[in-house]
Amino acid sequence: MRGWTILVWTSIFFLTVGVDRSCSAQSFDVDDFSPSALPAVPEGFEATFFALEPEVHNPAAIAFDAKGRLFVGHGPQFRHPKEDTRGDEVIILEDTDGDGVADSRKTFAHGFNSVQSLAWKGDDLWVANAPDLTVVRDLDGDDVADEYQLIFSGVGTLEHSLHGLNWAPDGNLYLSKGDTPVLPEAPKAFRELAHVPSDYPDTQPTRIFNAPDSAENSYRGTYILPTDPHTEGGILRCDESGGNLEIFARGMRNPYDICFDEGFNWFGTDNDQDGGDRIMMPFYGARYAHRHPWDYQWKGDDHLPTLPASGPFFHGSGTGVSYYSSEEFPQDYRGVFFIGDWLLQKVYVIHPRWDGALLKSNSDELEVFAESGPDRSLFRPTDVAVGPDGALYVSSWGATYGAEYDDSNRQINAGRIFRIASSDSNHASGDKVESPKRSKPLSEWTFDELAEDLDGEVLVWRVNAQDELVRRGEEVQEPIETALSSEDLTKEQKTWLAWALGRISPEDSEIDRFFLDLLKDRSADESLRIQSVRILAFRSGSDENDRLPEEIVGYLNDDSARLRFESVQAIWQTNSKEWTNPLIERLAVEEDRIVYFSLWGVLRDFLPVEERKELLVTSSSAEVRLGILLGLLEEGNLKGNEVVQILESETDPQIQKWASKWMANVGQGLEDPKQVIDKILDLNKRGINYELRMNLLAALDRMEVHGEDWTKLDEKFYEGHKNGEIYVPEKSQEIALCLKILSRDERALPLLWDGLDHEWDPVRGAAIESFRNLDEKGREYLLARLDSIEGDQLEAAIEALSLFDLKKSPWTPNDKQVAAIVQACNNSTHPLFRQKALRLLTLADSQTWENPSTKSFAAELAKQTVLDPDPRIYTLAEELGQLVGEEVHAVRREPATSEGVLALLGKADATQGKMLFYQQGGRAACFQCHRVGAEGKNFAPDLSDAGGRLDPKTLVQSILEPNAVITEGYRAQMVETLDGDLLTGVIVKETDSSLEVVQSDGEAIRVNKADIVEKRNLDTSIMPSNFSTLLTPEEVADIVAWLMSQTGPTDDRFVKKAE
């Protein structure tokens, strides 16, 4: 396997030299910090320090234990650890005097790979430290872990790794996994998610070790270089032993964290590098668009093969997610989700609502709850958790991306834990920590004491209380049933109580009957009715109870989209194939998109391929045929000729759309150009939508079109569409693609020539790109006419010429042609064009310069362009001068340095910096990859809030030394094709059949995977590394000055709560 040659797989003992793990009771000196170092929060809230450096360094994960103490995962492992890098540790922070500030610190466990999530269950702390999942236990009560149990290993690297550990009401552990690949020996579910074939066993045996510093059988973290190619991420779940591991949801890039609300409905974030971070509602069988088999569409809008987002997209870096329901916050901030954003230094609050079966934000804008303070405080949220006092605790990363050390090899990164509390808090939640019941074992608690904790602020309180109820079994059945009818309990308590009962005695039909009755009671709370459907499915999936109650099927036709969705989910998760016909009947009439997705998903899994193919032909319902088609296409069970038959016989526009889209993306189907062209002309004649024609044109683009087929496409389609009085983006894209197809026949030369002067940019760009398809004939056609044009058409012709490989095929331009190139170069203000024009002349055959006038033209150009400050231009000018015997020398300046630029910031011109940032074709042209506000692109980090989260030194280093610190997700990759092309950039879109490479100039190139010889990661940034010579120190200072003035988004993506 080519992808694994870059990995190092070895066990090491993380060094622990110089690490003090003793308990310390001391001040964290929080009073030494100005209030401006704290995040800004809404009126009525107060943000304070709970802990900070040197006690905490780059914390990534936090969780409270049953005693209400905060456990923090931190250390030096992220982001480029070496084999001897000290392991991360988990520390205990405790506020022993109740003043809201931690005054006790103790190391609980150590020697981990990068810790990125923590979750308590009973006395077990589950630690996501990719590539491992580890459980640690304190066996003797001294607050130091003695036993380390390795549950899973080989499940990714520390980039886009294992996150989001959550113990749920169904007793299962849910965990989110990013898109880094796994090792062949990883458990089967991880391998399936990451597309890693393997003959290893489906499961791994768990292994138990002593503490890392033990004399024997010591725990050793697993080291893997974080330089892997990326695959697919998702959500998995398993039981408390690590068994029954399965994929829960997929199609994600880096789902950093997930959580559930009081009704056990999942919510989370998924990081992306160009489309914006996604807020999502994962569920069983859900599939989002990352690494979709055949069609990548990140946002999911109107994208039936995948799912829509549950909130506005944001160009930051979503991290910790937590649901808040405590009465400690004002009413407006209860029943909400809090989401951290590491990159933009914010915490958002999401007010959820139901839109049919989709849980989503009630607003199209993100509401900021907390953000970096006025002095650009170190507020870089990595995790968010609700504390036992009802406050919101936020762990915050330090100022640098990776670990930093002092001369004694001690980590010196900053790290903070912030506490955000309501100013009007009654601190009732704090009383729960001091409750006398906590001094007793759970086995001695009363039923009411256990039920009280099911509404507790701390997740492990709910988990432990429910587990104790399940342990008691039948003796609590009656109290639970009584409590569920009480008006005094919260929705959260009822959810956990219902599931406690659901986990007791799966063979007990009386419990089944209780939930069936509850489901049928339309006066009952909808959430409880929904839990009833889920619990009945959960119970019928056990060995003791293997049949789903028939009554569930009736809810496929309920008025409530949520109940319809849950009934589909119940049938799906219990593999109840006997209910296939009712599912098909519902598919024919379903209007809710989430329910519809689940319906075709379950039918994909239930019905044999041949039966589904028959339905494609025999079903009278277009909705059924569409759903069946989507399932067959996803799993690759339709061949090209079968999709063609569907396209030719179908009249439903949705089916036509997705069938043609598949053909365009996968490259199968209409292999005969005549068929495709006839279909395009037919659709055009009938006025069928542009998108369908574009799909067919994309399929045609993979073929050779000549003879009568070429004539028909030209005369009956291209000629009729190539001009228009009004610019229509869709039409221009369609004509540009058609011109590209026609360009493979030499009869297209006049069309391409006219296209160079077309008023529509896409058509002009297609003409420029396509001349080289005709090789020598294309070049000669351009040269023969070069001296007869001027202006934009001349520039376009030179652009087209520059794409030919003139090193392999020397050329000898005449004096008129050289004069035309010189004229165009002198008239242009675009550095990139001037560079191309000069390079053309330097590649001319030596015979060119035997003509005195030709030589004179070139010499004069060399003398003028050598004065250009752009090194890309003056180096070519020197080369041209040497060729024509004109000795010219540029005045080379010293490369810009960080020290020099920083010294100029006081007199920098921010207005000039903005111009450099946005200048089309300029030497900086930062906007081609970066975004500020609503302008620019998202191939590189968003800089809308650069001044609010970055210091000048960091910005200057990022420009002059882009490879010094590479932001996760922006490492360059190299793709080599069968044609010998080497493409370097970042991969932003990938399916099973193709990928898209965005190069450093912002150009996106689509590559078919069948044409790829090799794809590998590079230890460089996608950002060009020559800005130190390309820009003057003054220009770098101007750009930095302007970026430092950008302290917030300017495109109305965010709103702040009115104060």
Which residue in 605, 606, 657 sits closest to 635, CA to CA?
A: 605
Torsions phi, psi for 381 (to 5 deg): -60, 130
Tell me: pLDDT of 557 over 90.
yes
Q: What is the dihedral of CA 720, 726, 729, 733, to 10 degrees?
A: 20
Which residues make Cβ contacts (< 8 Å) with residue 1024, sequence separation at least 6?
962, 1000, 1030
415-424, 647-656, 1040-1049: segment of lowest average pLDDT = 1040-1049
The answer to whether the CB of 348 falls within 8 A of the CB of 367 is yes
Euclidean distance between CA atoms 986 and 974, whole angstroms: 8
The answer to whether the CB of 178 falls within 8 A of the CB of 255 is yes
Tell me: pLDDT of 15 over 50.
no
Which residue in 782, 736, 788 sits closest to 761, CA to CA?
A: 736
Residue that has been written with the tokens 């409750």 in this structure = 435
Tell me: pLDDT of 7 over 70.
no
Residue that has been written with the tokens 């797989």 in this structure = 9
Q: What is the pTM of this model?
A: 0.86
Which residues make Cβ contacts (< 8 Å) with residue 851, sequence separation at least 6?
814, 815
Distances (CA, A) of 174 to 458, 857, 1045: 17, 71, 42
Q: What is the pLDDT of residue 224?
A: 74
Hey, what are 800's tokens?
């087209």
Q: What is the pLDDT of residue 9?
A: 31
Hey, what are 689's tokens?
């939508």
Give buried/exposed letters for 993-1014 (b at 16+ CB in 10 A, else e). Answer: bbbbbbbbebeeeebeeeeeee
Percent of the chain with pLDDT over 70: 92
The dihedral built from the CA positions of residue 496, 500, 503 and 507, taken in this order, carries a sign that is negative
Q: What is the dihedral of CA 521, 524, 527, 528, to 10 degrees?
A: -70
Euclidean distance between CA atoms 837 and 120, whole angstroms: 65
Which residue in 739, 695, 733 sits closest to 717, CA to CA?
A: 739
990 has which bridge partners?
Answer: 995
One-letter amino acid at 991 equals T
Q: How many CB atoms lie within 10 A of CB 568?
A: 32
Q: What is the pLDDT of residue 1059?
A: 40
Tell me: pLDDT of 14 over 70.
no
Torsions phi, psi for 561 (to 5 deg): -60, -35
What DSSP state is assigned to residue 578? G
∠ at Cα 143 (138, 147), nearest 5°? 25
pLDDT tens-digit series, residues 47-83: 999 999 989 999 999 999 999 999 999 999 887 788 8
Tell me: pLDDT of 520 over 90.
yes
pLDDT tens-digit series, residues 768-818: 999 999 999 999 999 899 888 988 999 999 999 998 887 777 788 888 999
Q: What is the pLDDT of residue 457?
A: 94
String of DSSP letters for 225-265: -S-PPP--EEEEEE-TTS-S-EEEEEEES----EEE-TTS-
Hey, what are 133's tokens?
């999942």
Q: What is the pLDDT of residue 1005?
A: 85
- Average pLDDT of the segment spanning 309-325: 95
String of DSSP letters for 112-166: ES---EEEEETTEEEEEETTEEEEEE-SSSSSS--EEEEEE-S---SSS-EEEEE
One-letter amino acid at 402 equals G
Q: What is the pLDDT of residue 237?
A: 98
One-letter amino acid at 185 equals E
Euclidean distance between CA atoms 433 and 425, whole angstroms: 16
Q: What is the dihedral of CA 378, 383, 389, 391, to 10 degrees?
A: 50
Euclidean distance between CA atoms 251 and 940, whole angstroms: 22
What DSSP state is assigned to residue 756? T
Which residue in 770, 812, 820 sits closest to 790, CA to CA?
A: 820
Among 477-491, 665-679, 852-866, 879-893, name the most confident range: 477-491
Which residue in 749, 743, 732 sits closest to 770, CA to CA?
A: 743
Tell me: pLDDT of 4 over 50.
no
- Average pLDDT of the segment spanning 633-649: 89
119 has which bridge partners?
Answer: 126
What DSSP state is assigned to residue 848? G
More confident residue, 1023 or 938: 1023
Tell me: pLDDT of 593 over 90.
yes
Which residues make Cβ contacts (< 8 Å) with residue 97, sequence separation at least 6?
103
Which residues make Cβ contacts (< 8 Å) with residue 636, sequence separation at least 6?
293, 294, 992
Q: Which bin fits 351, alpha (ψ -120 to 50), beta or left (φ > 0)?
A: beta
Tell me: pLDDT of 6 over 50.
no
Hey, what are 108's tokens?
């609980």
String of DSSP letters for 346-391: EEEEE-EEEETTEEEESSSSEEEEEE--TT--S--EEEEEE-TTS-
- Average pLDDT of the segment spanning 218-243: 86
Which residue in 440, 426, 495, 505 sits closest to 471, CA to CA?
A: 505
Euclidean distance between CA atoms 240 and 237, whole angstroms: 10
Tell me: pLDDT of 888 over 80.
yes
**What is the residue-averaged pLDDT of the chain?**
89
Euclidean distance between CA atoms 519 and 533, whole angstroms: 7
Q: How many CB atoms lie within 10 A of CB 977?
A: 17
The answer to whether the CB of 356 falls within 8 A of the CB of 595 is yes
One-letter amino acid at 903 equals A
Q: What is the pLDDT of residue 346?
A: 94
The dihedral built from the CA positions of residue 458, 462, 463 and 464, taken in this order, carries a sign that is positive
Tell me: pLDDT of 176 over 60.
yes
User: Regarding beta strands 366-371 and 1054-1056, do their DSSP bridges make them parallel or antiparallel, or are they unpaired?
Assistant: parallel
Hey, what are 96's tokens?
């022993």
Euclidean distance between CA atoms 85 and 68, whole angstroms: 31
Q: Per residue, what are the HEC states of 781-822?
A: HHHHHHHHCCHHHHHHHHHHHHCCCCCCCCECCCHHHHHHHH
Which residues make Cβ contacts (< 8 Å) with residue 251, sequence separation at least 6?
232, 234, 286, 287, 288, 289, 290, 291, 292, 306, 307
What DSSP state is assigned to residue 773? G
Q: Give the chain's domains with CATH numbers.
A: 474-650 (1.25.10.10), 938-1056 (2.30.30.100)
Hey, what are 970's tokens?
């922006």
String of DSSP letters for 1007-1035: EEGGGEEEEEEEEEESS-S-HHHHS-HHH
Hey, what are 343's tokens?
């990159």
Hey, what are 542's tokens?
């056990």
Percent of the chain with pLDDT over 90: 60
Euclidean distance between CA atoms 620 and 599, whole angstroms: 17
Q: What is the pLDDT of residue 495?
A: 99
pLDDT tens-digit series, residues 708-742: 999 999 998 888 877 765 566 778 888 999 999 99
Q: What is the pLDDT of residue 218?
A: 94
